[in-house]
């Protein structure tokens, strides 16, 4: 769907400003109330979901063009989807889709950011969104004796993802997952050196063709392997395989699960039992692409019924973030003896972003850090000892913010804590 096809969505914007705030039913005090990092940091309406709708239409009408300022505003947005959820509390219109499509149009017409071009060039040349990586993709699994899913039959493929593979600090997450899957006797394998980027972050940045190339490569490999289930430890990867591949009719029957969903199922089935006490108080950060953006894609084809109220034939369900993955990571945490989970002010569908998404960590590291600092402060206010999450990009950003802030908070991926308790 091109930006032109979303004109009616953008024109439905009522400029009510709800997209700047968390859903009003849930506001429980003066703060926290903001939900959009972009408007919160830059303050002009332009940076909000609503401002992006106005300017999307203006772009189609040539009232404005892809100027330097337009590109700056466009990329100072984590495509976190919070505006989409808050808007759709009351409205029947798409917000995040026009945001994606504006980027896709910009890239197609050659208006890109040099910082993001660099990342995508790395994808094109080395198959990774981590430019300049000096290690090899499969190094993290050296000596673990894991099955190669491209050569052996497995029930489950574990897709480690770019950041986990190419950033040694993240290897502990992958190793924890391996330990847990082995403990539960899961027949799984990895693609190792042959694993390639899911393409999700390229899509977020507007490089749709690069995303599609990656998606096709991945699905060819997965189909050939015969595996029916893919597990990912990365929220971006989860969103790509589960939502985006489906959006482009590439997913087929593949079952895509985030590792927290998979582990939650194993715990509930009695195949994994956390026994060791971990006396720790933690809070949990919902990654945007696992939470509100992680709900299944809804295929719909039909038409808007002409009339004085926007209804559709057949009935159209909007994706509103209602069915994202919120409970499984919490259930995994709660299964750990001694662990106490305390919640932050903004959670689940209206969680504040970690700051890393949409290419912001590459194109504007200061804004990315600013966003993460706000989340770390919110986590500190819960008096938790650690912030837990379920995505390596969030882990990386929080670690940076904690260092910057001089905070005592620790950061864990949920799987690390579970691996310690099992």
Partner 1 sequence: MALARDFYWSLEGILGAENVSEDPVVTESYSFPIRRKTMPDKVTYLPRFEAVALPASTAEVQAIVRLCNRHKVQYKASSTGWLYCDPVGPNCIKLDLRRMNRILEINEKGMYAAIEPYVVGAQLQAELMKRGLTCNQCGAGANCSVMPLASHVGLGHMSQSGSYTERNLLAVEWVTGDGEIVRLGSLGSHGDWFCGDGPGPSLRGIIRGNTTPLAGLGVFTAGAVKVYHWPGPAAWRVDGVCPKYTHPEMPPNFMIRYLSFKDIDDAFEAVRRVGEAEIGYTLMGFNAAMMASNIATDNQEDLDYLKRFAGQVQGVGFLLIIVGNSALDFDYKKRTLEQIMAETGAMSLKDVEDPVMGAGFAWRFIRITGSIRETSRATGWGGGTVGGSDVFPLMTRYILHTSHLKQQLIDQGLIMDDFTHPFIQSIEHGHTGHGEILIRYNPAGPDHIARVQGMLSREANKTAIEGRFGVPHHVWSDALHDMYGPNVGNYHLLLRKIKKNFDPGQASESSNYITAKEEK
Q: Which positions lie near partner 1, rule CB under 8 A? A: 7, 11-18, 20-21, 23-31, 33, 43-46, 50-51, 53-55, 57-58, 61, 63-64, 67, 69-70, 73, 85-86, 88-93, 306-312, 315-318, 320-324, 326, 348-350
How would DSSP label each residue in 40-74? HHH-SGGGSHHHHHHHHHHHHTTSS-S-HHHHHHH
Binding site partner of 69, from partner 1, ligand SF4, none, Cβ cut-off 5-8 A by kind: partner 1
- Asked if 184 is part of the footprint of ligand SF4 (rule: CB under 6 A), the reply reads no
Task: Tell me if 237 sits within 8 A of 393, measured CB to CB.
Answer: no
Q: Residue 66 or 297: which CB sits closer to partner 1?
A: 66
At closest approach, how far in Å is the CB of 206 from partner 1?
17
* C-alpha closest to that of 82 among 350, 323, 306: 350
- Identified binder of ligand SF4 from the candidate list 3, 6, 74, 95, rule CB under 6 A: 95
At closest approach, how far in Å is the CB of 217 from partner 1?
34
* C-alpha closest to that of 211 among 107, 365, 98: 107
Q: Residue 74 or 376: which CB sits closer to ligand SF4?
A: 74
- Identified binder of ligand SF4 from the candidate list 77, 130, 235, 422, rule CB under 6 A: 77
- Cα–Cα distance measured from residue 380 to residue 384, given in angstroms and rounded to the nearest whole number: 6
At closest approach, how far in Å is the CB of 40 from ligand SF4?
8
Binding site partner of 24, from ligand SF4, partner 1, none, Cβ cut-off 5-8 A by kind: partner 1
How would DSSP label each residue in 304-370? EEPSSS-EEES--PPP-STTSS-HHHHHHHHTSTT-EE---SS-GGGPPP-S-GGGHHHH-HHHHHH
Binding site partner of 280, from partner 1, ligand SF4, none, Cβ cut-off 5-8 A by kind: none
- Coil, helix or strand at residue 387: strand
- Identified binder of ligand SF4 from the candidate list 15, 69, 228, 403, rule CB under 6 A: 15
Q: Residue 238 or 352: which CB sits closer to ligand SF4?
A: 352
CA distances to 184, 205, 258, 389, 422 from 295, rounded to whole Å, are: 27, 20, 12, 18, 29
| Residue at token pair 């108080």 | 281
Binding site for ligand SF4 (CB under 6 A): 13-19, 36-38, 48-50, 52-53, 77-83, 87, 91, 95, 99
């Amino acid at each position: 769907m091109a930006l032109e096809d979303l004109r009616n969505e953008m024109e439905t914007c009522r400029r009510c400003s709800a997209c700047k705030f968390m859903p009003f039913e849930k506001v429980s005090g003066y703060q926290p109330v903001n939900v959009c990092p972009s408007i919160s940091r830059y303050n002009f309406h332009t940076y909000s979901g609503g401002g992006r709708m106005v300017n999307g239409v203006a772009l189609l009408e040539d009232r404005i063009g892809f100027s330097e300022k337009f590109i700056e505003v466009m990329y100072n947005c984590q495509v976190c989807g919070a505006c989409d959820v808050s808007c759709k509390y009351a409205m029947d219109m798409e917000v995040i889709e026009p945001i994606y499509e504006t980027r896709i149009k910009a890239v197609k017409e050659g208006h890109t950011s040099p910082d993001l071009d660099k990342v995508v060039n790395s994808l094109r040349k080395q198959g990774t969104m981590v430019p300049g990586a000096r290690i090899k993709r499969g190094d993290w699994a050296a000596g673990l004796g894991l099955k190669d899913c491209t050569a052996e039959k497995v029930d489950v493929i574990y897709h480690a993802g770019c950041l986990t593979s190419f950033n040694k600090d993240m290897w502990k997450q992958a190793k924890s997952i391996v330990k847990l899957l082995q403990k539960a006797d899961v027949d799984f394998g990895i693609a190792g050196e042959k694993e390639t980027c899911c393409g999700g972050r390229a899509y977020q940045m507007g490089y749709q063709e690069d995303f599609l190339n990656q998606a096709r490569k991945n699905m060819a490999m997965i189909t050939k392997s015969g595996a029916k289930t893919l597990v990912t430890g990365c929220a971006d990867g989860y969103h790509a395989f589960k939502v985006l591949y489906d959006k482009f009719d590439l997913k087929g029957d593949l079952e895509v699960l985030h590792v927290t969903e998979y582990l939650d199922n194993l715990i509930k089935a009695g195949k994994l039992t956390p026994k060791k006490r971990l006396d720790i108080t933690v809070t949990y950060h919902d990654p945007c692409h696992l939470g509100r953006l992680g709900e299944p894609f809804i295929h719909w084809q039909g038409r808007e019924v002409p009339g004085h109220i926007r209804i559709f034939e057949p009935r159209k369900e909007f994706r509103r973030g209602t069915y994202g993955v919120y409970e499984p990571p919490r259930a995994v945490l709660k299964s750990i003896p001694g662990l106490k989970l305390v919640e932050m002010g903004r959670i689940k569908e209206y969680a504040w972003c970690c700051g890393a998404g949409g290419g912001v960590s590459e194109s504007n590291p200061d804004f990315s850090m600013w966003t993460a600092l706000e989340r770390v402060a919110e986590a500190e206010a819960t008096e938790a000892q650690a912030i837990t999450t379920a995505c390596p990009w969030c882990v990386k950003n929080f670690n940076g913010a904690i260092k910057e802030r001089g905070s005592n908070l620790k950061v864990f991926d949920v799987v690390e804590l579970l691996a310690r308790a099992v």
